Amino acid sequence: MSTFRSIKGVKDILPENMPRWNIVEDAAHRFARNYGFHEIRIPTFENTELYIRSIGGATDVVEKEMYTFPDRDGSARTLRPEGTAGVARAYIEHHLGESSHLQKLYYLGPMFRHERPQAGRFRQFHQFGVEAIGKSHPFVDVEIVDLLWNFFSSLDLPGLNLEMNSLGTLEERQEYKAQLLEFLTPLRDDLCGNCQRRLENNPLRVLDCKVITCRNITEKAPKLLDCLKTESSDHFQEVLTGLESLGIPYTLNHRLVRGLDYYSMTTFEVTSTSLGAQNTLVGGGRYDGLMKALGGPPTPAIGFAVGLDRVVLALPDSRIPPKSPLVFLASFGKKGFQAGMQILQQLRLAGIQADTDYQSTSLKNLLRSANRLGATHTLILGDDEVDSNHITLRNMETKVQENLPLDSIHLQLPNHLK
């Protein structure tokens, strides 16, 4: 037995699990493209400074979770912990903003964070993300959430809950921070250790804390929505009205915040009641200040990142389609084997899933191989069949056999597999 095992928190996705992944990923591609988004593939690792600037040096991701390593020239590189920073860097580097059109980009791929592994949380995980860059209209926000909600709904995910909030502008958020600190500072000693530290560098994140004592304390805290001026309030109301007009249900959640200055206006999450503690499927919102923070021009943008591992866990078994028919070619004898290679190629080019066993030479052993592979049908082709220009089709479940013309089997077979 091999002494090598996968790294803790990094899992293999085995063939029996791939149908679930294919369903989810195919839906992601389909909905992104239907909404006018174009796929982008960003590097798996970037300069570490990109993530420090984009995610924030005072966050748990940067301080504790990033996989950072020195390159051969001494430069610090980091495996991507999320996709937005890489997309923003590509947007600036390749001057995608020179077009007046809204840039609509999406990606799928693995991300890396050194977290404590548990159900739905891995150190290598996968995300489906979209980024709409260049326009600040509230209907862009609505379109993003609409795409997301219909993606989830198409998969029949159970117990979905969309939560919405607005972060307002930087100035409004600064005013709110002052009110929040005024409320929390006298209660500092009752907060958990993490929240006491957050009071110094990221007070909004105290609202996010899952510790019950902290949640009880912040239950009566001021609400950010109460600090919004007319323009921000109107923007958020237009977003909510747009969601209502599309029949998308939501709840307001004043705890839903982002701790960095470049986040603004609309923010949202979707959770599922079927996932237990790690129940967040997606987080998203506006990050109108990110491009400027990375050295580009001020550019409005909004996006989301879906945790595909959790979506796959939540996917109902009823969405898994039955296996496609597998045809096994049992060819034997000199003529049968030679003709079988041509038949096998014809079947595959006709879109029929087909396989064979090149080692077994007797019909008995070939039928055993067909059973091991889970074949639904077997084509039996020996020297006698070649001479008579026919091939025998065997239903592996009913054991019923019938003879079909050899020279047109690839044309006739699909009708017999239904």
Q: In what order do the strands lie in the sheet with 76-79?
A: 45-47, 76-79, 68-70
The mean per-residue pLDDT over the stretch 125-140 comes to 97
> CA–CA separation, 252 vs 126, rounded Å?
28
How confident is the model over 28-64, as pLDDT tens digits?
999 999 999 999 999 999 999 999 988 876 667 777 8
Q: At 167, is the pLDDT very low, low, confident or very high (cuts 50, 70, 90)?
A: very high
- Residue 58's pLDDT is what? 65
> How far from chain centre, in Å, is Cα 234?
32
How confident is the model over 235-268, as pLDDT tens digits?
999 999 999 999 999 999 998 987 677 889 999 9
pLDDT > 90 in the chain, percent: 75
How confident is the model over 208-236, as pLDDT tens digits?
888 899 999 889 889 999 999 999 999 99
Closest by CA to 205, choosing from 369, 320, 347, 55, is 55
- Residue 403's pLDDT is what? 95
Q: 119-123, 166-170, 186-190, 354-358: which has the minimum mean pLDDT?
A: 119-123
How confident is the model over 68-118, as pLDDT tens digits?
999 999 999 999 999 999 999 999 999 998 887 899 999 999 999 998 887
Residue 318 has pLDDT above 80, yes or no: yes
Higher pLDDT, 375 or 101: 375
Burial (CB < 10 A; 0-12, 13-18, 19+), residue 8, is exposed
| Token pair for 248 | 């998308």
Q: At 308, is the pLDDT very low, low, confident or very high (cuts 50, 70, 90)?
A: very high
- Residue 108's pLDDT is what? 98
- Residue 374's pLDDT is what? 94
Q: Is 314 left (phi over 0), alpha (psi -120 to 50) or beta?
A: alpha
The mean per-residue pLDDT over the stretch 130-136 comes to 96
- Residue 160's pLDDT is what? 94
- Residue 98's pLDDT is what? 87
- Residue 61's pLDDT is what? 77
- Residue 340's pLDDT is what? 93
Residue 149 has pLDDT above 80, yes or no: yes
Q: Amino acid identity of 69?
A: F
pTM across the whole model: 0.90
Q: Amino acid identity of 269?
A: E
Q: At 382, is the pLDDT very low, low, confident or very high (cuts 50, 70, 90)?
A: very high
Q: At 120, is the pLDDT very low, low, confident or very high (cuts 50, 70, 90)?
A: confident
Q: At 279, is the pLDDT very low, low, confident or very high (cuts 50, 70, 90)?
A: confident
Q: At 198, is the pLDDT very low, low, confident or very high (cuts 50, 70, 90)?
A: confident
- Residue 259's pLDDT is what? 65
40 and 96 Cβ atoms separated by less than 8 Å:
no
- Residue 144's pLDDT is what? 98
Residue 24 has pLDDT above 70, yes or no: yes
Computed over every residue of the chain, the mean pLDDT equals 92
Crossing angle between the packed helical segments 409-416 and 334-349, to the nearest 10 degrees: 70
> CA–CA separation, 25 vs 12, rounded Å?
17
